[in-house]
């Protein structure tokens, strides 16, 4: 397990908090709210400084962060004299809602940027159109000699033909090989400026079992995408993993998920891959990934965790914004005051002040 990867993961989580709160902060400043504090952490104050009218700093417990806006806490009279028109409750509902939702939305933006950057720098096999051999192990997992190594295939070879397939993609090679087990398949590759023709005979591993597979003995590496395809792919990944996360959240907090957690906690049931994991559990997985040196996978996990937290905080803030906006509207029609934020708040302070925990 890589200690460096675990430390990097927790530093990345701290970065998520900073970015999340910066989303609140940026729009609050843009709309002219009176921002009082911008802190990372909770509990006793460790360090701070003041720039202009805002205090920035760090607190002892790095389990979240907050942006404090004047008039947001109904139990605290913290609106400076003369700033009543800049208090939270004095601003239009639309601006208040955007300030609240800016934090969760920053998670979606960061996740999309990371997904796109990974596609630009390392690529993804499923999106790769060119089949480039990244590795040719001498032996397969069962200890059998690799057919590809015996035939003379090398890392860096670009596969231009496999049997009847011309310029096959990585997604096409696997199914074709599976249909031609124990058959001699002509393979043409480009090696530098040369065209090399070889013959490879796939072998069957673990025949007759659920783990049966047909292998040539090559690994195909992903190729980096261009800027615009990478951005499009990053947005597509964002949409895909958002749907996956919503399904997982529904499962985790549904009846079956609650029962499953009970079995794990109190009955010592063995964990499955799809079980809910705590921050400690995720950090252990990240450490295992870091031990392999696969930093692309590390950043993918970080992007997914960032997105997952964004969905959780979005659902909290969205419900608060919608519900309290209706309450404020009805109270205004009934004559309720909303000049300094003491009689009408949309949404409540719990969302903006601590939703990065």
List the catalytic residues. Answer: 21
Cβ atoms of 277 and 9 closer than 8 Å: no
Q: Contact 154/217 with Cβ under 8 angstroms?
A: no
Are 5 and 291 contacting, i.e. CB atoms less than 8 angstroms apart?
yes
Nearest Cα residue to 73 out of 301, 331, 342, 290: 342
What is d(CA 219, CA 207) in angstroms, rounded to the nearest whole number? 21
Give how far Cα 303 sits from Cα of 94, 235, 309, Å. 29, 12, 10
- Token look-up 């205090």 returns 55
Burial of 275 (0-12, 13-18, 19+ CB in 10 A): middle
Exposed / middle / buried, residue 228 (Cβ in 10 Å: 0-12, 13-18, 19+): exposed
């Amino acid at each position: 397990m890589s200690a460096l990867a675990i430390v990097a993961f927790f530093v990345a989580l701290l970065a998520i908090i900073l970015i999340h709160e910066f989303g609140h902060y940026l729009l609050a400043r843009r709309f002219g709210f009176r921002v009082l504090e911008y802190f990372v952490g909770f509990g006793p104050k460790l360090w701070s400084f003041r720039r202009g009218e805002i205090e920035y700093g760090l607190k002892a417990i790095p389990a979240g962060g907050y942006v404090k806006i004047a008039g947001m806490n109904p139990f605290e009279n913290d609106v400076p004299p003369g700033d009543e028109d800049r208090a939270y409750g004095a601003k239009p509902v639309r601006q208040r809602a955007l300030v609240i939702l800016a934090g969760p939305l920053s998670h979606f933006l960061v996740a999309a940027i990371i997904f796109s950057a990974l596609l630009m720098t390392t690529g993804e096999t499923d999106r790769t159109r060119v089949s480039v051999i990244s590795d040719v192990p001498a032996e397969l997992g069962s200890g059998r000699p690799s057919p590809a190594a015996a035939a003379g295939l090398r890392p860096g070879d670009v596969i231009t033909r496999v049997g009847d397939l011309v310029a096959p993609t990585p997604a096409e090679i696997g199914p074709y090989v599976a249909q031609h087990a124990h058959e001699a398949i002509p393979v043409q590759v480009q090696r530098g400026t040369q065209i090399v023709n070889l013959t490879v005979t796939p072998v069957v591993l673990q025949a007759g079992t659920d783990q049966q597979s047909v292998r040539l003995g090559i690994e195909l590496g992903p190729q980096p995408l261009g800027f615009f395809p990478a951005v499009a792919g990053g947005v597509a990944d964002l949409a895909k993993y958002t749907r996956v996360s919503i399904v997982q959240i529904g499962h985790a907090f549904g009846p079956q998920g609650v029962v499953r957690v009970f079995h794990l906690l109190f009955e010592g049931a063995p964990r499955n891959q799809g079980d809910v994991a705590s921050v400690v559990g995720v950090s252990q997985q990240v450490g295992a990934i870091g031990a392999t040196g696969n930093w692309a996978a590390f950043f993918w996990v970080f992007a997914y965790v960032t997105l997952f937290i964004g969905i959780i905080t979005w659902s909290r803030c969205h419900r608060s914004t919608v519900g309290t906006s209706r309450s404020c509207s009805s109270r205004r029609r009934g004559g309720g005051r909303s000049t300094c934020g003491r009689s009408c708040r949309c949404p409540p302070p719990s969302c903006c002040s601590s939703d990065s925990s």
